[in-house]
Amino acid sequence: MGPGDCGIPDNRAMSLSRPEPDPAQHLLVPFASASAPECQAALRELALPNLSALLAALAPQPADSGDDQAFSTPHERALARWLGLPTDDGRIPWAAAAGEQPKQPQAWFTPCHFQVGMDQVTLLPSDQIGLIDADSRALFDALAPFCAEDGIDLTYESAVRWHAQGEPLRDLICASLDRVSGRSVADWTPSQGHSPLITRLQSEAQMLFYTHTVNDRREADRAYIVNGFWIHGAGALTSLLAPVAPPTQPDALRQAALRADWATWRAAWLVLDAGAIAQALQRVGQGQPFTLTLCGERSAQTWAPPPSGLGPRIGRFFHLLRGAPPAWKTLETL
């Protein structure tokens, strides 16, 4: 499953004309930390010696501080800024950036399961409920004509993402899929339903999908039914993007965090520390440029080569003499 299938844009799909990234130059780590108490407890048990040393060798940049109710996650905002995308009101027009007509309003529709509990409705996206291509396409075929009647052209991209284009999407405010996956949708549903047209489409989709043979079969197999869709990445660009090589993004931490699988998340951090982080530390030790961005659910922090000059070098020397603090102390602030 590619990063773009569950909220994070697939950088290759965003602009095929962009140069290939240097994987050693900028590492952007989504879900390096998370707000869940289980994750915060796991942090204190993490021994990440290479990350601790790397943070001590680099200089912190101004943080992107926020909260876990923002419409976009910190890793999405960090990537957007790197690529030159707007982040106004927490909205990032990912679909337009990936489309062939970026100045036209666009969005992504992701079929999903809304799990109704005693006191909340939780969203499970299609990649978490095992929606296969044939079933997704059948549901797409059922909904597309209704979208067309309302001026939204729906195009099938994959089992987990349908591309939408049309004027009704221009000013739509919507939370990213990574923000709402596995969480209660109560805080973000009003943003999706402020448009009567979108509200009607969601109601039509619910009725269409409920009686569809795809769901009859899924229910018989005791699989989650598809009972709606989530809109994300909506908006349009005012100008074309300049070519920018995207940073490298490991996805294992993100995948585990979205599933609240903290044992796997912890194991993924150990692999990352022994692999890409160790390689970055070696690169920095050789005097080569390197940038690290760590992202949690609230904030993101970037570290870059320290400034040159005698004063910064002396300050860095005494900082290193005190020893590198454990990395978890930094991660828990994200």
Please tell me what DSSP assigns to residue 70: S
- At residue 317, the pLDDT reads 45
- At residue 308, the pLDDT reads 66
Count Cβ atoms within 10 A of the Cβ of residue 240 and give its class: 0-12 exposed, 13-18 middle, 19 or more buried: exposed
CATH number for 90-235 (one of 3.40.1350, 3.40.1580, 3.30.70, 2.60.40): it is: 3.30.70
Poorest-pLDDT segment among 11-25, 66-80, 106-120, 159-173: 11-25
Q: Say whether pLDDT at 289 is over 80.
A: yes
Q: Say whether pLDDT at 314 is over 80.
A: no
- At residue 19, the pLDDT reads 38
Work out the average pLDDT over 135-145: 96
Q: Say whether pLDDT at 37 is over 90.
A: yes
Token pair listed for 285: 């030790």
- At residue 6, the pLDDT reads 42
Q: Say whether pLDDT at 75 is over 50.
A: yes
- At residue 110, the pLDDT reads 95
Please tell me what DSSP assigns to residue 248: B
What percent of the chain has pLDDT above 70?
Answer: 86
H-only helix segments in 103-195: 133-149, 177-180, 189-193
d(CA 46, CA 52): 11
**Type of residue found at 75:** H
Reported confidence tier of residue 11, pLDDT bands at 50, 70, 90? very low
Poorest-pLDDT segment among 33-42, 79-88, 101-110: 79-88
Q: Say whether pLDDT at 133 is over 70.
A: yes
Work out the average pLDDT over 203-227: 93
SS3 (DSSP) at 287: coil
- At residue 293, the pLDDT reads 97
H-only helix segments in the chain: 11-14, 37-43, 49-57, 74-83, 94-98, 133-149, 177-180, 189-193, 196-210, 213-220, 252-258, 262-272, 278-285, 310-321, 327-331
Q: Say whether pLDDT at 321 is over 60.
A: no
Mean pLDDT in the chain? 85
- At residue 319, the pLDDT reads 52
Q: What is the per-residue pLDDT across 265-286, written as a single tens digit (0 to 9) for each?
A: 999 999 999 999 999 999 998 8
- At residue 213, the pLDDT reads 95
Q: What is the per-residue pLDDT across 155-193, written as a single tens digit (0 to 9) for each?
A: 999 999 999 999 999 888 889 999 999 888 887 765 555
Model confidence, pTM? 0.86
For the chain, domain boundaries: 3-70+243-331, 90-235
- At residue 193, the pLDDT reads 53
